[in-house]
A and B are shown apart, each in its own frame.
Chain A
Amino acid sequence: MKPHPFDYAAPEALDEVLDLLARLGDDAVVIAGGQSLVPMLNLRLARPEMVVDLRRIADLATFTITDQGLRAGAMARAIDVEEHPDVHLVPGLGDALRQIGHPQVRSRTTIGGSVAHADAAAELPALLLALSGQVVLHSVARGERTVEAADFFTGPMMTVREPDELLTSVWIPAHPGSVAVVEVAKRPGDFAMVGAVVAYAIADGVISDPSIVLFGVSGQPVRMASAEAVLVGAVANANTFQATVEQLREEFGLLEGFRDDVYATGGYRRQVAGTLVARALASMS
């Protein structure tokens, strides 16, 4: 199918974008890489009055990676970050990026676009949540505001971003320990049926800063707080990991609206989530 007709603007200044969003709100949609939006336009799942393209705003395409983390403008492309020699400074970032779609999609995919789109099965929102990242939003009405990842995602493709707001940058802090990003999909490059981001550090012989996020299992990436709690202060060994996985499967059963669909039953996802986290924990110790 072909998209429904729409108007198009590619402003050269951020202010022009914000003015358009202030005027049009929900009737406008922002295009960054377009790898999720254009399929939705083609399928007419999205029928905006105007598509606002960020491609001419050079500042938005910049990113910096330090041992503190990744600061990515809304138009920073996944492939450019993935291929950056310093990508390893942010543990888990390279692994997350390499599992997004296919190389031909990552050529256009943007960090900001993926986070703003907030697909429940996407890698970057899950990584952002697991590493306690931040999202920066701009609008005419509210100026600049910074939102914690934990507050940003609210449901399937839903975030706290208001219709007149533009996601301008994303901050993904470097975790002090190691980070694993694992997923199971029907085929490589497909959206994950189940995915997990697992992180922890070792301090004084015991586990600190644990983080376990599942994606693809419910309407948004979810932090598994009670499973994380099992890890805090524990020794990194098989017994600890076993107890963590058992708690994770318990917690999964309590998730609101976990997915049970044509791709996989809820029970299958629960089982695989435990297995993925077990593998991730074992691979990191």
Chain B
Amino acid sequence: MNEHTIRLTVNGENAEVRVEPRMLLSDLIRHQLGLTGTHVGCEQGACGACTVIIDGRPQRSCLVLAVQADGTTVETVEGVECDGIENAVQTALHEQHGLQCGFCTPGIVMSLVAAHRAGVPAATAREQVLDGHLCRCTGYVNIRAAVDAAWEAAGDRRTGYRQENLGQESHRQESHGQESLGQVSLGQESHRQGGSE
């Protein structure tokens, strides 16, 4: 079989894999790397469920051949840190009921995280970034509210307000049993922020 060896970094870990040229990055991520948080909806770039961050930019992993990702740095929803904007986005989607079945959510999280890191304002994220995602449950109202809440929370973090909330967030997340999201750094984050201010 005509296969190519590619090397890429996925969620901070180096991976070397052999792939057929026709393998999509989304399938590499899901089937060979076992990271099934990246969902595949339409496989034609319309739904946005498979969005991952490649070299800092949000991209459709179903519209990238795995061989094209040779040498790139890929972030999937599993690699999303649980502090800063990453946490703000996930918390806001949760608190604002910005998801129901959750199929579209990983892609939305990745797009919003990339947008916030790039300094995209909330209004643009709400209108243009979410345009690239189909959600059949929520009607978008609550997702849009989550964008505002996430951006506000991240802004609060810059003014030091968010630090006061960290204890509550930590408590709430524990009470919802979400440790599986890997939110182990919250306490350290709180401590680090306290030390820097």
Contacts and interface: CB of A to CB of B under 8 A. Distances in A.
B65 interface: yes
* Residues of A contacting B: mostly: loop
Interface string A49-88: 0010101000000000000000000000001000000000
A23 interface: no
Contact of A41 (B2, B22, B27, B54): B22
Contacts of A189: 131-132
Interface residues of A, number: 31
A35 B68 contact: no
A103 B129 contact: yes
A102 B48 contact: yes
Contact of B57 (A79, A101, A187): A79
A185 B129 CA distance: 17
Contacts, number: 96
A5 B21 CA distance: 7
Interface string A117-128: 000000000000
A8 B65 contact: yes
A255 to B, nearest CB: 28
A266 interface: no
* Residues of B contacting A: mostly: mixed
Given A38-B62, A103-B111, A5 B2 contact: yes
A61 B4 CA distance: 24
A87 to B, nearest CB: 16
Contact of B2 (A3, A7, A38): A7
Nearest to A5: B22
B56 to A, nearest CB: 9
B115 interface: yes
10 contacts: A3-B24, A8-B65, A8-B67, A34-B63, A39-B45, A101-B132, A107-B54, A107-B59, A188-B127, A189-B132
